[in-house]
Amino acid sequence: MKIALDAMGGDFGPPNLVAGAVMALREYPQIERLHLVGDARRIEAELKKHRCGDGRVEIVHATQMVEMSDGAVESVRHKKDSSVSRAVDLVKKGEAEAIVSAGHTGAAVAATTIKLRTLPGIDRPGIAAIIPSETNVFVLIDAGANSDARAEHLLQYGIMGSVYSRHVLGYGNPCVGLMSIGGEDVKGSDLTKEVFKMLKESQLNFRGNIEGHDLFAHPVEVVVCDGFVGNVILKTCEAVGDAIFKWLKHELTKNAKRMAGAYLARNAFRAIKKKVNYEEYGGSVLLGVNGICIIAHGTSTPLAIKNALRVAAESIEHEVNPHIIEEIRRYHETTAPLEPALR
Amino acid sequence: MKIALDAMGGDFGPPNLVAGAVMALREYPQIERLHLVGDARRIEAELKKHRCGDGRVEIVHATQMVEMSDGAVESVRHKKDSSVSRAVDLVKKGEAEAIVSAGHTGAAVAATTIKLRTLPGIDRPGIAAIIPSETNVFVLIDAGANSDARAEHLLQYGIMGSVYSRHVLGYGNPCVGLMSIGGEDVKGSDLTKEVFKMLKESQLNFRGNIEGHDLFAHPVEVVVCDGFVGNVILKTCEAVGDAIFKWLKHELTKNAKRMAGAYLARNAFRAIKKKVNYEEYGGSVLLGVNGICIIAHGTSTPLAIKNALRVAAESIEHEVNPHIIEEIRRYHETTAPLEPALR
């Protein structure tokens, strides 16, 4: 399989990205070609540091990069030679099967949507983030692609999240929850009330409204929300986890007795840390575009980038897109027939 | 001071609510009268259990209660003798200065807004939740009163949150952040982009967009968001905290060595647990209504109810509403003059 990595994005740029690429090349023989897209001179220098002469690497020079302060759509229009745009071009031309970017999320979404287009029946792509609960992992969709979503977008997220949960995570009949503010059917915003009705009429295994505490205490396999809310949930989960571990460390180092206790119990802390460590999950999949795009964390470490490349490889392998097209078609056949003009 | 407690609301009803009331009566001599509103027979039975013959208690019988499946506005219209409506009536008639409810949040907001009205210049009330970070506590507003907010509502939340932070929490010049999906000025939804401009033009100490990780790592004193997002943040914070402590407990009891470590370090865990325990904070204030309304957690323990009554007493003492009216007036004088017809 052939993957294109935007080697300029993310808070730390080429050093972390190239280091992650080198790790992935060593670990995943199924990668036949890895395009590293960006400033060729800097990428070469990083490869040299790692003494990497792997013949599967191809450097694709791009003269521009998207800054975090750039507008998403504007970046595609005005920075035609940006690393992320060039990486998407490789997918469009068939030279790569997937793109991985740790840069400006909006720019990656816009470049992919504009250049590759959405799948038939999908209006807007959504980011599917994988989050661990105590007993399972669940898909949170949309985790930040579409911050002004309409009801039909959220219905499509439910369908796409279900497909992903079934075909990639292996759940037989994934349970779908709608993120709301109150578990009862009548609760929610105007948007979620409308989506509630659509999900209920669909053939999805819809459990109804869920709230924050359901995420971990009674987890469903797919959590549906708009991109603003999903992004806030994702970042709040990380923030609370980080804050609690920081407070714990502070409290546990206050005196010798506590430090001795912490030393004895150190493997317990390690087990939890590993479980909540986003680096292990690597990246989130942008579902609904006619291609494969993996969105990695802006602060990605080399380990996180290696795992994002693993997620890209898995996505290529699982061929999720034909299943999404099929499920959307079935939805319109069984539940909401399309107007003849839209067929 | 005189307070009305909706004695029927919450997941556990009269037992927890009356137990909390009894605790508060013992601890707070400044409470001169405590109206317990609801099913008189059940309230009397609970008081008897606690051998409470406090002369400051007045039972106000109400024959109905709002169920969690009731619509918010409908509950005010159709259940005129509900405990929460009767409690608000006491404030309206001047027989109480504040109401505390652990019941259906939407019903408490609707009853208060319809019966007491909003303050001059405020379109929609917002719930101000108090959240601990490592170094301070901050106000999250709106935490769930208004799930379909417009830009001017969020501006008003910024002003009200600032007033509360200054006059109740004691911050000299509270810093205001707008919850968004990306720290840069250009990021956000259509709604937050509009609010960003309004907050920037205002005389508030506006720091700009903030994200999840800023909540605890670089906290501001006031976090502004719509009620849907705020409610999700609040519940997600609780859920992640609960989940991490549950996982920790599970890991720490896996073998004797870890258990010994946990025993030595037990005071560290207790310190954190106390810090993140919502029961200590008691309740959130509904800001922007012409009266005082405290929203307690649905799962409130007696300790949480006692602290919610403490928050009610503090709110009466601090007279926040005149300061809100003054700040809104100043905003319109200095930044956005009202049309003559609206003055």
Q: What is the pLDDT of residue B185?
A: 85
Residues ≥6 apart with Cβ < 8 Å to A144:
A105, A127, A227, A228, A230, A231, A234, B181
> What does the pLDDT read at residue A325?
96
Q: What is the mean pLDDT of chain B?
A: 93
The DSSP secondary-structure symbol of A341 reads G
> Are A71 and B237 in contact (CB < 8 Å)?
no
Q: Could you give the strand order of the β-sheet that contains B137-141, starting from the edge strand earlier in sequence?
A: B57-61, B33-38, B2-6, B98-101, B292-296, B283-287, B126-132, B137-141, B222-224, B175-179, B205-210
Segment 61-80 of chain A within 8 Å of chain B by CB: 68-71
Domains in chain B: ranges and CATH: 1-122+288-320 (3.40.718.10), 123-278 (3.40.718.10)
Tracing tokens 């791009």 back to the chain, one arrives at: A62
Q: Is the pLDDT of residue B188 over 60?
A: yes
Distances (CA, A) of B309 to A244, B174, B300, B302: 28, 25, 12, 11
State whether residue A274 sits within 8 Å of chain B by CB.
no
Amino acid at A3: I
Record: contact B228-A262, CB cut-off 8 A: no
Closest Cβ–Cβ partner in B134, B189, B269 for A228: B189
User: Which residue has tokens 């059940």?
Assistant: B42
With a pLDDT cut of 90, the percent of chain B lying above it is 78
Q: What is the ipTM of this complex?
A: 0.91
Taking only the tens place, the pLDDT of each residue in A86-96 is 999 999 999 99
When CB atoms are compared, the residue of B228, B242, B264 closest to A229 is B228
* Angle CA A88–A93–A96, to nearest 5: 65
* C-alpha distances in Å from residue B164, one per residue of A55, B157, B315, B320, B323: 63, 10, 9, 7, 9
Using a CB-CB distance cutoff of 8 angstroms, which residues of chain B are in contact with residue A271? 251
- CA dist., res. A278 & res. A300, Å (int): 9
Q: CB-CB: which of B144, B187, B244 is closest to A241?
A: B244
The residues facing B285 across adjacent strands are B128, B294
Given an 8 Å threshold on Cβ–Cβ distance, is B243 in contact with A144? no
Whether A258 has its CB under 8 Å from any CB of chain B: the answer is yes
Read off the pLDDT of residues B9-51 as tens digits, 9 standing for 90 and up.
Answer: 888 999 999 999 999 999 999 999 999 999 999 999 999 999 9
Chain A CB contacts of B189 under 8 Å are 147-148, 228
Chain A residues with CB-CB distance to B192 below 8 A:
228
Kindly determine whether residue A252 and residue B265, on different chains, have CB atoms separated by under 8 Å: yes
The pLDDT assigned to A264 comes to 94
Q: Which residue of A has its CA nearest to B229?
A: A229
One-letter-per-residue 3-state SS of B269-310 = HHHHHHHHCHHHHCEEEEECECCEEEEECCCCCHHHHHHHHH
Please tell me if residue B202 touches chain A, with a CB cutoff of 8 Å: no
What pLDDT score was predicted for residue A285?
96
Question: What local confidence, expressed as pLDDT, does residue B341 receive?
Answer: 57
By Cβ distance, the residue of A144, A212, A252 closest to B181 is A144
Give the gap in angstroms from C-alpha A236 to the nearest C-alpha of chain B: 4
pLDDT at residue B277 tops 80: no
List CB contacts (< 8 A) between B211 and chain A: 232, 235
Q: Which two tokens stand for residue B151?
A: 């830009």
**pLDDT for residue B242:** 87
Q: What is the pLDDT of residue B55?
A: 95
3-state secondary structure of A39: coil
Nearest CB partner across the interface for B261, out of A247, A251, A263: A263
Contact A148 B182 (CB under 8 A): no
d(CA A236, CA B216): 9
Query: Chain B within 8 Å of A264 (Cβ-Cβ)?
Result: yes
**Is residue B241 less than 8 Å (CB to CB) from chain A?**
yes
How crowded is the C-beta side of A279, counted as CA atoms within 13 Å?
12
List CB contacts of A105: < 8 A, sequence separation 6 or more.
A127, A144, A145, A295, A298, B182
Query: How much is the average pLDDT of B112-133?
Result: 94
- Helices and strands (H, E) in chain A, number of each type: 13, 11
User: Chain A partners of B244 at a C-beta cutoff of 8 Å?
Assistant: 240-241, 244, 272, 276
Q: Max CA-CA distance within chain B?
A: 75
Predicted local confidence at residue A340, as pLDDT: 60
Q: Measured between CA atoms, how close is B53 to chain A, in angstroms?
A: 37
Is residue B265 less than 8 Å (CB to CB) from chain A? yes
Contact (Cβ atoms closer than 8 angstroms) between residue A20 and residue A302: yes
Contact A235/B212, CB-based, under 8 Å?
Answer: yes
Query: Within an 8 Å CB–CB cutoff, is residue B31 touching chain A?
Result: no
Contact B337/A at CB under 8 A: no
Contact A101, A293 (CB under 8 A): yes
Q: In what order do the strands lie in the sheet with A2-6?
A: A57-61, A33-38, A2-6, A98-101, A292-296, A283-287, A126-132, A137-141, A222-224, A175-179, A205-210
Residue of A nearest to B185 (CA): A69
Give CA separation, B112 vs A19, B100, B115, in Å: 58, 11, 5
Give the nearest partner residue to A232 out of B190, B233, B263, using CB atoms: B233
CB contact under 8 Å between B254 and A268, yes or no, is yes
Task: Report the pLDDT value the prediction gives residue B273, as an integer from 0 to 100.
Answer: 82
pLDDT of residue B342: 53
Tell me how far apart the alpha carbons of residues A34 and A269 are, in angstroms, rounded to a whole number.
36
Query: Is B151 an interface residue toward A (CB < 8 Å)?
Result: no
Nearest CA in chain A to B266: A258
| CB distance B23 to B306 below 8 Å | yes
| Residues B232, A179: C-beta atoms closer than 8 Å | yes
Task: Tell me, yes or no, if B179 comes closer than 8 A to chain A by beta carbon.
Answer: yes
CB atoms within 10 A of CB B301: 17
- Would you call A251 an interface residue with chain B, using a CB distance cutoff of 8 Å? yes
Task: Give chain A's residues under pLDDT 70.
Answer: 338-343
What is the 3-state secondary structure of B1-34? CEEEEECCCCCCCHHHHHHHHHHHHHHCCCCCEE
Q: Which of A263-272, B42-51, B176-185, B210-219 has the highest mean pLDDT?
A: B42-51
| B258 Cβ under 8 Å from any chain A Cβ | yes
Å from A127 to nearest chain B CA?
14
